[in-house]
Amino acid sequence: MVSARITALVENTVGGRELLAEHGLSLWIELGPKRLLFDTGQGKVLGGNAQRLGVRLELADAIVLSHGHYDHTGGLADALRSAWRTTVYGHSAAFGAKYAKNPDGSARDVGMPFLGGQKVREKADLVLVEGPTEVCEGLRLTGPIPRACDFENAGGAFFKDQGCAEPDELVDDQAAYIETSAGTVVLLGCAHAGVINTLRHVQSQTNGRAIHTVIGGMHLLNASAERMDKTVAELRRLDVRRLLPCHCTGFAAAARLWNEFPGRCAACPVGTVVEVPR
Ligand SMILES: [Zn+2]
Ligand SMILES: [Zn+2]
């Protein structure tokens, strides 16, 4: 394994001087000679945070989109403007219309702003991910994740149309992972497929290798008590060494995980650097 580390460029929280937070996620991955951007946040703070953290977005060899929601793709236009030469990886559904239903029945647009696949192609190579995909040596994408667990769901009222007639199962949702001798390091966007479905799918692609680290959004803010209990039980069974539940995980869910897995959880504010074991 080449050396690797992950830097949080965009996250919902921040603790450092001259860094800014927003509701969103973007992780910078240095993997041997490669530089990869996993999600782009909403785009309001990506460039500034990158500059202050000494991250050169122009060097991004690849930009991975975990799914199409605006808080992961809003910075794509800026990232593409910065990048000298890059390849974008995302499922075709990530470029489709996406809405969330409000409690009063109205809908709000939560899709990718400004860009369609065609516009991406004007700036970069575009790889439409349909299944397990290698981005570069050491980093792979799960592609669409089977929804095998009966206790997990997409985590909200998501639809493909403004009238909220056609549910959006977020088939575009995918995770990235790095295999190391200590176990697999998994990067989640929002885990709309469910964090346990995601980890099981990663294991199915890695000969059952142990999961070492899970970093990213777990979208458990609407999770039922039953789902939380089963998620905790499965994470315990998987014996995950290090958890960085952040972004859309939800405060109560994150607090539960911190209590259930003492010494194994960490926060992930903007500027956090996670060393990947070799
Ligand atoms: Zn999302
Ligand atoms: Zn999100």
State the average pLDDT over residues 60-87. Answer: 96
d(CA 223, CA 228): 6
Tokens of 233: 């039980």
CA 70 / ligand 1 centre spacing (Å):
8
Pick the closest to residue 99 from 68, 58, 73 (CA basis): 68
CA 181 / ligand 2 centre spacing (Å):
30
Side chain identity at 141, as an amino acid letter?
L
CA 63 / ligand 1 centre spacing (Å):
17
* pLDDT band (50, 70, 90) for residue 278: confident
* pLDDT band (50, 70, 90) for residue 118: confident
CA 156 / ligand 2 centre spacing (Å):
11
Residue given tokens 């460039």 in the structure block: 47
CB atoms closer than 10 angstroms to residue 168: 26
Q: Tell me, what's the pLDDT at 35?
A: 98
CA 104 / ligand 2 centre spacing (Å):
22
d(CA 196, CA 193): 8
Number of the ligand closest to the Cα of 154: 1
CA 219 / ligand 2 centre spacing (Å):
8
* pLDDT band (50, 70, 90) for residue 137: very high
* pLDDT band (50, 70, 90) for residue 130: very high
